[in-house]
Structure 1
Amino acid sequence: KESSDRGNKDGRHGGDIQGIIGHLDYIEKMGFTQIWLNPVLENDQQRYSYHGYSTTNYYNIDPRFGSNEVYKELSSKAKLRDIGLIMDLILNHIGSEHWWMKDMPSEDWINNNGDFVRSNHIHESVHDPYLTKSQKDLFSSGWFVKTMPDLNQNNKFLENYLIQNSIWWIEYADLSGFRIDTYPYIDKNFLSVWSERIATEYPNFNFVGEEWSSNITMVSYWQQGSNRYDDYRSFIPSMMDFPLQEALVNSLLSKETWETGIKDLYKVLANDYLYGNPYNLVVFAGNHDMTRIFSQLNEDMDLYKMAMTYIYTTRGIPQVYYGTEILMEGPADHGTLRADFPGGWNNDKVNAFKGSGLKNEQKDAQSFTKKLLNWRKESLPVTQGKFIHFYPSGGVYIYFRKYEDELVMVLMNNNNKTKNISTDRFFELLADKKQGISIVGNKVYDLTTKINLPGKSALILEIH
């Protein structure tokens, strides 16, 4: 129903799966190991169909992106480069143009008898002990928006349909993971069944849920193995770490005081005991729904490097929104936020795939990303090691990643001025180790003397 028009920032621009296949070399060389595409299933809506979150066919790739066969080809060719493919899955709702809306399989297939009743969008509704049942139900059974009819997963036929569809795509496309949209909006009893079926069938298959909340208890509630206030059973192995993202931005933008600053990062991680497995959380600086991280940080290159250094070295699995590596800017306006990656079209004046036309700052960011991500792939302390941190002192936050005898040290100075940092209080980890080599710059640091760390900077050292 909607054709391509690059002049319309809120419309389809013509990018497709074949274009991704054609640039797998860039993705591989940059150091990325997974590709998470926003939904590419058929989304035949009248407007705003490019984003994919209004599914109109659960078994077909949108023909404007390609075909099922091309999607499968992307998966297989990416796998040859040790890159996995993650499907963005929408279990909560469909698009209003889905054929079900014209011929519902049963009267209770869609919540509220198929009539539009808006969700209250109050995430606390799932947990609030004082709400009435009708208020609780409104969150999960109300429609997200008018063009997204809410599925009633209490219908056992629909439940089975969604489970079988998920399994089919894992098998058909040899997927490496799922990202599940609007996780808490979905009926929680269905999620318990669905997540158990997927986890049982594929014990090593990782899938992550989106609970957009800065409340750690609300995010941790869903992860498998977390301690809960009730007897709810959940089998989803990972969640998006929204609390950490918010703390990261706030800490870097705040002045260093008794209550604010880099210590906000420490405080979030100090609550990791609430999670079943904090090492399997997905950590990120930005995504497709929020102002780009470079813009959030006031287009400050120093803060950008601090933020991304943290994302690449903290506990968890880092996720990078496309274009972050070339400092793409944009407000939360979706059209601007999801702008074309430069170089994807023949007439583009800038080609980020080849580095032509980029500003020096963008080239620096791209090189910085490539260096850290490719180093990270080979670093056992960062990918498999324990996370150990020290309470921030004087606006400086220091943490370690440790795997057997291998050790990585990360130092973050959130002050405007240089800090000279003594290593004395890290004796339990450093012991008799006397030397650190920086990952960016390959500079040797003597750990028996104070480390000179410039203001608004981060330093990664491999300890020897």
Structure 2
Amino acid sequence: MKSLMHTFLLSTLFGMCLNVNAITASPQNWWVGMQSQQLQIMLHKANIAKQQWQLEPHAGVELTSITHTDNPNYAFLNLTINPDAKPASLIFKSKSGERFEYPLLAREKNSSQRKGFNSSDTIYLINPDRFANGDNSNDTIQGMLEAANPQERGGRHGGDIQGIIDALPYLQKLGVTQLWLTPPLENDMPSYSYHGYAITDFYTIDPRMGSNELYRELSAKAKQHGIGMVMDLVLNHFGSEHEWMTDKPTADWINFNGDFANGKHATSHARQTIQDPHASEFDKRQFSDGWFVATMPDLNQRQPLLATYLIQNAIWWIEYADLSGIRVDTYSYSDKAFLANWTKAIMTEYPDFNIVGEEWTSNPAIASYWQAGKVNNDGYTSSLPSVMDFSLQEALIQALNEDESWNTGWVKVYQSIANDFLYPNPDNLLVFADNHDMSRVFTELEQDLDKTKMAMAMLLTTRGIAQMYYGTEVLLDNTDSNDHGDIRIDFPGGFKGQTSNAFTGQGLSDEQRDMQQAITTLLNFRKQSPAIAHGKLTHFSPKAGIYSYARISDQQTVLVFLNKNSAAKSWSLAYMQEVIGQHKQAINLFTNQAISLIDTVTLAPKSATVLIIE
């Protein structure tokens, strides 16, 4: 009954918001029993500031104040919701006789205790438009600026949320435990809207992807398959077709007065200015306030009403869609004081939640600045649990492509991981071989199956949270082009007319089948391995083209050998006695054969050997 009431109340409000003469309220609803008792509702309607609002009495809920801005089309209602408040449809009335209802809902049981993604997980990154088209009827939506154009590399290809729902059995069998979708929110832009990062409505799923209800259905059905949902949120910028560009809630809502100035107000991308003790204020502002491009205006998170809006938006999606995590796009580009408050608000509401921030740098001194628990020289305190490990990604590609020497090859991976002393919690770093913004790992590794299998074996067995880009399991490739539209290639089997199908295996090459099986073996091992989930990492200095390490827990030890050599190696285990101990035998993960640990092991050429000691 609670679910039905939830749907009815939300549908009523969403229907009201479609009426151009009605009041738009953001967020669309809220919940009782939240950790924070404060709620700010942004109302939008022509000349709404002239209205004097009152809340019909409801026990435990108080309208404490109303904030007006320099734009008469907005009003912000500030409410206090006490812990004893009950679910209801709040009634707001103005002295002129206007009224609207606001749903105040009951939370799902134990919502605040939800578990976030962690080092036992594998996150599968999907660009929804390019994964699977489960509903052809929404490929083009009348009234939206961009129609479907599957032949255009930068066009919309028609993938959607229904396609991902249909693929859940495949993803479960593959061994995926979390889904990260690039933003499925409305991107009503005239071109390149498929990627999702130019948001035009922060509370609405793009109709070409589905609907809010369908996104919530995806989350619920994914959970039934043992898969959590990680939402990709954008705090730094939005799409230039958003109504804020023509009707800003405040004059200072957008950085540089909402003017890109033909590139004069573009970001410098000089992320090091945040930590640089010698950086000028001019350079700091040019980085954090500058726009990416003219179509992505930069938000001013120093504006307190906007800051509250963004905090509440994140919490709303966590509650509404039952999320297990958030990935934050272009993390460090937002105002850093706001980021501290944003992460603290979410982690206070959900202490066991997880958030990963994108800080695209191979310098761990810069990346580690943002992780919770880091003691920074400037006194900055972050509550961000996880950051993306771009250092290891870059080192891994170089290591597999370079010849071995004292300063090239595997030593770069070794050195990258040795820098873990900079992080408060290296086990909570997100490790990956590629993502939606870079060439695919199979491409970077020169279309070499063996090297690609080694790369993925390493990332799926080292410390940290593993993230894999969709299609890696079937060697998707963009060798002929670095265009993002080609990096974000259509998943085989997700669209009509394709000759191969990764879901069924039909039409795949022998190499693709080999890779898919290797990934399936690794991911399903991760799901049940205590050593991979929370074991200590001990690694050994590379030698003779071989990098080796152990993951050690009380219940299990896993030995990993990555052999770059073109010939097999009979490899002495004498140096590994500290991790092998008294154990005499292990099981090879890929062959299921018993392997003696008495003296040497045989390492196949250009291969990953994973040995399990129970």
For this structure pair, what is the TM-score category when the shorter chain's length is used for normalisation? over 0.9
User: Any idea what the Cα deviations from partners look like across 1:230-289, whole Å, max 9, x if unmatched?
Assistant: 210100100111000000000111111111111111111111011111101110001001
Q: Please, which of 312, 316, 319 is the counterpart of residue 467 of structure 2?
A: 319
Whether the aligned pair in 2 keeps the contact of 1:315 and 1:387 (CA below 8 Å) is yes
Q: Alpha-carbon deviation of 1:69?
A: 0.3
Measure how far apart 1:19 and its partner are. Answer: 1.0
Aligned counterpart in structure 1 of residue 236 of structure 2, from 92, 95, 107: 92
The residue aligned with 2:572 is 422
Q: Aligned partner of 1:388: which letter?
A: T
The range that moved more, 224-233 or 362-371, is 224-233
The corresponding residue for 2:386 is: 238
- Cα contact 1:263–1:395 (8 A) shared by 2: no
Match of 1:268 in 2: 416
Match of 1:252, SS? Answer: helix
Partner in structure 2 of residue 205 of structure 1: 353
Quote the offset at 1:416 in angstroms.
Answer: 2.7
- Determine which of 273, 277, 283 is the counterpart of 2:425: 277
Within-5 A mapping of 1:225-374: 225-330=373-478, 331-374=481-524
Partner of 2:44: none
Q: Secondary structure at the match of 1:401?
A: strand
Identity %: 52
Cα separation, 2, equivalents of 1:422 and 1:332: 42
Matches within 5 A, 1:164-183: 164-183=312-331
The residue that corresponds to 1:402 in the other structure is 552
Question: Which residue type is aligned with residue 496 of structure 2?
Answer: N
Q: Contact 2:219/2:229 (CA < 8 Å) preserved in 1?
A: yes
What does the per-residue CA deviation read over 1:205-227, in whole Å, with 9 as the maximum and x for residues that have no partner?
11100001000111111011123
Residue type of the alignment partner of 2:542: P
Aligned AA (1:390) = F
Alignment partner, residue 223 of structure 2: 79
CA distance in 2, matches of 1:130, 1:273: 24
Q: Which moved more, 1:251-260 or 1:391-400?
A: 391-400
Cα shift at 1:415:
2.5
Q: Which residue of 2 aligns with 1:23?
A: 167
What is the CA-CA distance between 1:449 and the residue it aligns to?
2.2
Whether 2:154 is the aligned partner of 1:6: answer no
Give yes or no for contact 1:227–1:274 (8 Å, CA) kept in 2: no
Q: What SS does the aligned partner of 2:549 have?
A: strand
Alignment counterpart, residue 381 of structure 1, candidates 507, 512, 531: 531
Q: Does 1:56 align with 2:200?
A: yes
Residue 298 of structure 2 corresponds to residue 154 of structure 1: no
Give 3-state SS (helix, strand or coil) of 2:579's partner: helix
Flag the 1:125–1:44 CA change in 2: closer, same or farther, 3 A: same
- Deviation of 1:48 (Å): 0.1
Q: Distance in 2 between matches of 1:368 and 1:454?
A: 15
Find the aligned partners of 2:572 and 2:375 in 1 and give their Cα distance: 38
In the TM superposition, residue 128 of structure 1 has moved relative to its aligned partner by 2.1
Q: Aligned-residue CA RMSD in angstroms? A: 1.0
In the TM superposition, what is the alpha-carbon distance from 1:432 to its structure 2 partner?
1.3
| TM-score, L = length of structure 1 | 0.98
**Mapped partners of 2:185, 2:555: distance in 1:** 46
Q: Which ranges of 4 or more aligned residues in structure 1 deviate by more than 4 Å?
A: none
Q: Please give the per-residue CA displacement for 1:97-118, whole angstroms capped at 9, x wherever unaligned.
A: 0000010011100000111110
Taking the aligned partners of 1:343 and 1:314, their CA distance within structure 2 comes to: 31
Q: Which residue of 2 aligns with 1:130?
A: 278
The one-character-per-residue Cα deviations of 1:10-32 (angstroms, maximum 9, x if unpaired) are 11011110111111101111000
**8 Å CA contact 2:375, 2:381 repeated in 1:** no
- Indicate the residue corresponding to 1:40 in structure 2: 184
Structure richer in strand, relative to its length = 2
> Higher Cα Rg: structure 1 or 2?
2
Residues 224 and 276 in structure 1, CA contact (< 8 A), matched pair in contact too: yes
TM-score normalised by L of structure 2:
0.75
> Per-residue deviation at 1:3?
0.7
Q: CA deviation at 1:326?
A: 0.2
Contact map agreement 1:295 1:329 (CA 8 A) in 2:
yes
The SS at the match of 2:169 is helix
Q: CA shift at 1:175, angstroms?
A: 0.6
In structure 2, distance between residues paired with 1:254 and 1:236: 34
Instruction: Note the C-alpha offset of 1:155.
Output: 0.3
Any stretches of 5+ residues in structure 2 without a counterpart? 1-144
Answer yes or no: is the 8 Å Cα contact 1:119–1:142 preserved in 2: yes
Q: Size of the alignment, in residue pairs?
A: 464
> Equivalent residue for 2:613?
463
Deviation of the 1:446 alpha carbon:
1.2
Deviation of 1:130 after TM superposition, in Å, equals 2.4
Give, in whole Å, the separation in 1 of the partners of 2:283 and 2:460: 40
Map of 1:190 onto structure 2: 338
The residue identity in structure 1 corresponding to 2:445 is L
- More moved, 95-104 vs 221-230: 221-230
What is the deviation of 1:443? 2.0
Shift of 1:345: 2.1
In 2, distance between residues paired with 1:23 and 1:417?
Answer: 39
Alpha carbons 1:227, 1:275 under 8 Å: kept: no
The yes-or-no answer on 1:104 pairing with 2:252 is: no
> Which AA in structure 2 matches 1:433?
H
Q: Which amino acid aligns with 1:163?
A: I
Q: Distance in 2 between matches of 1:388 and 1:400?
A: 5
Q: Which runs of 5+ in 1 are unaligned?
A: none
Quote the offset at 1:412 in angstroms.
Answer: 1.1
